[in-house]
Structure 1
Amino acid sequence: MSQAERKHLEPSVLPTAVIPGSLYLGSYDTASRSELLRAMGITHILNTWPSNPALFKNSFTYHTVTSTPVDFQECHDFLDMVLNKEQKVLVYCMTGVSRSPSVVIAYLMKKRGWRLAESYKWVKDKRQTINIKEEDVKRLQEYEVQLHGSCSAPMGLAILNNGPAFGQQPQAGPAGQQQQPQEASAPSTSGPVFGAASAAPAWSLSNTTAPQGFRFGAAVAPGPAGPPQQQQERQHGLAPGQPSGAAGPNPFAPRPAAAGEGGDNDMEM
């Protein structure tokens, strides 16, 4: 199939690269395009709908799930086998909008350590047409609790559709300032956040406000603790016992003439 012919295909027909070069998602229509799949280098097909026939057994290695609803672990074992060989696999169901996406989302949670909200957003951003059914959402929520001990999307997945793309970088505001995207759900507590902008480090020099009590140019050497009166005198540059209202010694005052020196020359050359 030529590049021009591929451009004329409906977007829903083309395999969606969830993990480019490894894991792809599609529908029955996608799985029926053997020429397209071979051109993309796909070698294995995971069929998540038991009644779908294996159309091209001589061209691809198939695995058809044995139960409905699908057993996530059964699917994960097949995907692990393919991806460990660095080969490409297509996961599909009839329409490619619920069952096969839920298998891929569960796989990302298991293998990448991501939470449900993150995995769903990752797949949704790649394939906008997915629409996980309520029963599949419930299974994914239960699976997340099993893996991570809590659920990051207790209100369901549809509420995440208007959130920022997973790993989206902050956008520049009208004044050139960085605006952080609003969180769509609770942040992940396990696994890396893919592509997320890191927070400012603790040693960032962005804080230019001087600390309280700071005097620019002051270089008061630390000394032994003394009575409060002496500490106050040190802070004001006074000698111990000197009244606070009295002026300190003037470093620019003429030096008194020593014995034997002329009194008309008050500066040394």
Structure 2
Amino acid sequence: MYEEVKDYLNTKRQEVDKSRKKPVGAQPSPWAFVPGEPKENFNEVYPGILLGNHFIAKNKEELKRKNVTHVVNCAQGTKFNQISTDEGYFSDTDIKFLGLQALDIARFPMNKFFQPAADFIEEALANKGVVYVHCMSGMSRSGAIVLSYLMIKRGMSVMDAVKLVRDKREIFPNDGFLKQLCELDQQLQQQR
């Protein structure tokens, strides 16, 4: 399943890459793949779920305009590639906050956050809320969390969740997160 999901994401990435202008002299590299940033700061990938980057995450006025009631920061922290928002940052608003101190590296155990984040998102949506789920770029960490929500709470397979979200936003969870999502898929299938 892992290879199938990764192939799907790579195929979609290539379709997006063909539509983008490349600098003169830019050559594809067989050695490394670094996906391009999503075109938008955020996208609604499922009713009530906005998936995006750190720019909007720190803009309380923009979050208010988008009727955001809950924020999931999948890159909480003060170090490189992290965003320093917490409950205190939103204390002057009605926004509820969940911080996940996740690193965007393949060996990071993102699966420890799947259930708590899914419960938080589900509670928000059950109360007609709007959730902004983000990391730095809105591609890997936050993408994995939204996918896990759709699998746990909406009964989707990993492939169905990937297709649904990928049609709305350029996501690309790292290899470790993809493997953990595929393991979650197997666990959920056994429970059904």
TM over 0.5: yes
Does 2:101 match 1:69? no
- Residue 32 of structure 2 is matched in structure 1 by none
Match of 1:143 among 184, 187, 190: 184
Q: 1:53 aligns with which of 84, 89, 111?
A: 84
1:34: how far off? 2.1
Deviation at 1:132, TM superposition (A): 1.7
Count of residue pairs brought into register by the alignment: 139
Counterpart for residue 108 of structure 1: 150
Q: With structure 2 as the length reference, what TM-score do the two structures score?
A: 0.66
Greater gyration radius:
1
Superposition pairs of residues 75-114 of structure 1, within 5 angstroms = 75-114=117-156
Aligned-partner residue type, residue 119 of structure 1: A
User: Which SS does the other structure have where 2:45 is aligned?
Assistant: strand
RMSD of aligned residue pairs (Cα, Å): 2.1
Separation in structure 2 between the aligned mates of residue 44 and residue 57 of structure 1, nearest angstrom: 12
Write the distance in 2 (CA, Å) between the matches of 1:63 and 1:122: 24
1:12 counterpart = 2:53: no
Structure 2: any 5+ residue segments left out of the alignment?
A: 1-37, 78-82, 103-107
Which residue number in structure 1 is paired with residue 27 of structure 2?
none
**Contact 1:25 / 1:91 at 8 angstroms: preserved in 2?**
yes
Contact kept? 1:45, 1:61, Cα under 8 Å: yes
Deviation track 1:18-45 (CA, whole Å, cap 9, x = no partner) reads 223x111111112122222111111110
Q: Equivalent pairs: percent with the same residue? A: 31
The aligned amino acid for 1:69 is P
Specify the SS of the correspondent of 1:138. helix
Unaligned runs of 5+ in 1: 1-9, 151-189, 191-269
Q: Deviations over 1:1-25 (max 9, x none)?
A: xxxxxxxxx9432x211223x1111
Q: Name the CA distance, whole Å, in 2 between partners of 1:57 and 1:122.
A: 33
What amino acid maps onto 1:115 in structure 2?
A: S
- 1:251 aligns with none
Give the number of the structure whose residues are more often helix, by fraction: 2
CA distance in 2, matches of 1:78, 1:122: 20
- Note the alpha carbon deviations across 1:153-198, whole angstroms, 9 max, x for none: xxxxxxxxxxxxxxxxxxxxxxxxxxxxxxxxxxxxx8xxxxxxxx
TM-score by length of 1: 0.48
2:166 equivalent in structure 1: 124
Letter in 2 for 1:18: V
- Deviation string for 1:130-160 (max 9, x for gaps)? 122101110101000010139xxxxxxxxxx
Q: Quick check: 1:134 aligned with 2:134?
A: no
